[in-house]
Amino acid sequence: MPNIKSASKRVLISKKLNARNKAERSVLRTNLKKFDAAVVEGNREAAESAYKVAVKTVDKAAAKGIIHKNNAAHKKSALSLKLNAMAK
C-alpha cells in the first residue's frame, strides 16, 4: 500500500483506467470474432455488417490508445483481405 496520499489516489485511478481498457479490448476482440464467424459461415451480408462494426471498433481502440495505430492498420487490412476473398 502506498504511504503518500497522491500515490494512493493514483492506484485508484489506474485501477479504474485498467478496467476501462480491459473492457474496450474485450469489445474489440468480440467484434473481430463476430466478423471471423460470419466469414467462416459464408454469409456475405452478415460479414459486411460485421466488417463495418469491426473497423469502427478498431479505429476507436487506436484513438484511445488501446492498440497502436500500426496494429490497427494491420487489423483493418486483414479484415479487408478476408472480406474481399469471400467475393471469389
Residue 88: the pLDDT is 67
Amino acid identity of residue 68, one-letter, is H
Residue 1: the pLDDT is 81
10-residue stretch averages of pLDDT, the chain, 88 residues long: 93 97 97 96 94 97 97 98 88
List the grid coordinates of 33: 470474432
What's the distance, CA 82 to chain centroid? 17
Contact predicate 78/54, CB 8 Å = no
**CB within 8 A of 25, min separation 6: which ones?**
61, 66
Number of domains in the chain: 1
Rounded distance between C-alpha atoms, residue 23 and residue 26, angstroms: 5
Domain around 53:
5-87
pTM of the model as a whole: 0.86
Residue 69: the pLDDT is 97
- In the chain, which ranges are continuous DSSP H helix? 5-41, 44-64, 69-87
CATH number at residue 57: 1.20.58.110
* Gyration radius from the chain CA atoms: 18
